[in-house]
Amino acid sequence: MARLPTVSRRSANLLLDHIAENIVVGEALPTEHRLAALAAGSRSAVRSAIAHFFARGLISGRKGRLLLRKPAPGDYFDVADLQGGAERVRQALMELIYQGDWLPGAEFTEAELARAARVSTVSVREFLIGFSRYGLIRKKPQGGWRLSAFDRAFAMEVAEVRQMFELAAIERFAALAAGDPALAALGQLIVRHEQLAAGMAQRHQDFPALDRDFHTFLIGCLENRFAQDFYDIVSLVFHYHYQWDKASEMARNQHAVHEHLAILQALARRDTAAALAAMRAHLDSARSTLLQSIHSRQLAFTNSANDNNDLTQMPPR
């Protein structure tokens, strides 16, 4: 069987989860329309997934689709295999920044990032050229790339656009029908946040990934390609916050987890007003913390420059 496109493999994994939890052996799979809704994919992606299930001996045929057995681990596609080249590059870049390996001013080559992402330099170059339009990475005249620091004005611009998208996402989610699959995903996000909140002391570094999942889940409700593209820059500025002080990281993450829970729980209650208020509070908190970190960084840079000037002006011994 030919290799399935990434979107079909992702849909197949989502459907396998649904089958494992909700369909008994001997029962037919739902209609293609229902499967497409469950997998958040197209009819074409669902048909490819059904063909995969038939080839694996999971269902009786492509039309009757009676379940012959429960899914096994071997039926799933590997998670790493689901990431396209651009996604691998994005994730590798964010992780290098978040872990503190690459700070503002750091210089790197396409080959370095290609090794970290395990992709070709062509994939890296395509991603960097597209991402450079935000001004946070710049091509060096002599070759290679440089990470650029952002200032207060840049952070405010991102925060303003982010707020428009996220508040619109809350309203869109609140309008979903009672049986929409997104409600099940909402419940899973609540559980993940509760688990992280309970073990924050040991797992606080898991927060950035959960933070991105939380916000991209909501933005996904908009079904707006421009909003989704914008979240690459949001991830860098807010989620991976490479200019933020690591000393208070755990306290910040703990506070943000509880802010997320307030939003998610309000959505679960279908209390739109409370969800909007909680989201505004969360965005205000994130913006305030980011602006403070930028101020602290600029102050530290100024003090360092003054200290260096003092040293150069000292008379020789």
In this predicted structure, the answer to whether residue 172 has a pLDDT above a threshold of 90 is yes
pLDDT-derived band of residue 315, with 50, 70 and 90 as boundaries? very low
pLDDT of 2 reads 44
pLDDT of 302 reads 63
pLDDT of 259 reads 97
pTM value is 0.61
CATH level 3 topology of 6-81: Arc Repressor Mutant, subunit A (1.10.10)
Q: Is the dihedral of CA 148, 220, 239, 117 positive or negative?
A: negative
Helices 32-39, 6-22: crossing angle, 10 deg rounding: 100
Please give the Cα distance from 48 to 41 (Å, whole number): 11
Please give the Cα distance from 3 to 195 (Å, whole number): 36
Q: Which residues pair with 28 in a beta bridge?
A: 66
Give how far the C-alpha of residue 58 lies from the chain's centroid of Cα atoms, to the nearest Å: 31
CATH level 3 topology of 84-147: Arc Repressor Mutant, subunit A (1.10.10)
In this predicted structure, the answer to whether residue 120 has a pLDDT above a threshold of 60 is yes
Cα diameter, the chain: 91
Sequence spans of domains, the chain = 6-81, 84-147, 152-300
Q: Which residues pair with 137 in a beta bridge?
A: 147
Domains 6-81 and 84-147 share a fold: yes
The residue among 170, 165, 177, 158 whose CA lies nearest residue 277 is 170
Please give the Cα distance from 125 to 114 (Å, whole number): 9
In this predicted structure, the answer to whether residue 307 has a pLDDT above a threshold of 60 is no
Please give the Cα distance from 299 to 84 (Å, whole number): 40
Neighbours of 297 (CB within 10 A): 16
Q: Which residues pair with 66 in a beta bridge?
A: 28
When pLDDT is averaged across residues 163-172 and rounded to a whole number, the result is: 94
**Over the chain, what is the mean pLDDT?**
81
In this predicted structure, the answer to whether residue 195 has a pLDDT above a threshold of 90 is yes
Q: Which CATH architecture has domain 152-300?
A: Up-down Bundle (1.20)
- Determine the 3-state secondary structure of 134 from DSSP: helix
Percent of the chain with pLDDT over 70: 83
Residues 73-119 have pLDDT tens digits of 888 887 655 556 777 788 788 777 766 667 777 899 999 998 888 88
